[in-house]
Amino acid sequence: ALVLLVGGCLPTAATAQGRAIADLWMVFLVPAVVVAAIVWGLATVAILRFRRRGDDATLPPQTEGHAGLEFLWTSLPILTVLVLFGFTMVTLGRIEARAPDAVEVTVTAFRWQWQIAYPTTGITITGTPDRPAEMVVPIGRPVHVTLASSDVAHAFYVPAFLFKRDAIPGRTTSFDLTVEAAGTYRGQCAEFCGVFHDQMLFSVRAVPPAEFEAWLATAAAASGRGE
């Protein structure tokens, strides 16, 4: 019961991609519980029913060369793995898919903060330990993030998104996020990167599309004035 309780304590996914991950987790959890119940159940029965009670105890009935049983306990695990593999590939396809009309955002990790840029507007936000960077995104619209690191390995991690992606020096990676509910979601670096790793915080603020467009205009104007 404790294992089931802990296994179900995932945060509610705030993105479409996160929901796909949560669904896949449940697909894995159900057969895992079934397999655990079978294995633990049979092991418990064998321990209690056939435990040795003395030197003259007889062995339980032995079955050798049962083709049906051997086929069953070989084919069922293989089938289970293949089905789970198929679900995993479908989910990965949904997570890695790129939308053509996504908002472009470039995120650069550095020791020990984040720089968030909107290339098409000239907006650049550089975080500091006292004022962590904030990424503003529209709800219901895909956001294409290009992730990089300027020094050592970091990791972009937002718990509410059920998503983490490493930022590797000399290599860029990208992914889409579609936030489904307005709010501010806290993020952090999830790869130990040095002394002030704990200060590498950031946030993602999801707002309605009209509010996002207004923010873009205001932030672009402020950027043009050098603010």
Structure confidence by residue, pLDDT tens digits, 37-50: 999 999 998 888 87
What's the rounded mean pLDDT across residues 80-88? 94
What's the rounded mean pLDDT across residues 116-129? 92
Predicted confidence (pLDDT) at residue 190 exceeds the cutoff of 60: yes
Q: Tell me what pLDDT residue 50 has.
A: 76
> Regarding predicted confidence, which is higher, 98 or 56?
98
Q: Tell me what pLDDT residue 225 has.
A: 47
pTM of the entire predicted model: 0.79
> Regarding predicted confidence, which is higher, 162 or 50?
162
Neighbouring C-alpha atoms within 13 Å toward the C-beta of 64: 1
pLDDT band with cut points at 50, 70 and 90 for residue 134? very high
pLDDT band with cut points at 50, 70 and 90 for residue 136? very high
Measured in whole angstroms, how far is the alpha carbon of residue 132 from the centre of its chain? 22
d(C-alpha 226, C-alpha 109), whole Å: 22
What's the rounded mean pLDDT across residues 55-63? 71
User: Phi/psi class of residue 122: alpha, beta or left (left: φ > 0; alpha: ψ in -120 to 50)?
Assistant: left
Predicted confidence (pLDDT) at residue 3 exceeds the cutoff of 70: no
What are phi and psi for residue 81, nearest 5 degrees? -65, -40
User: Which residue in this structure is represented by tokens 């707002």?
Assistant: 207
d(C-alpha 182, C-alpha 136), whole Å: 11
Q: Tell me what pLDDT residue 2 has.
A: 72
Q: Which of 216, 224, 12 is nearest to 116 (CA)?
A: 216
Burial class (CB in 10 A: 0-12, 13-18, 19+), 115: middle
Burial class (CB in 10 A: 0-12, 13-18, 19+), 12: exposed
Give the chain's mean pLDDT.
Answer: 89
DSSP assigned state of 221: H
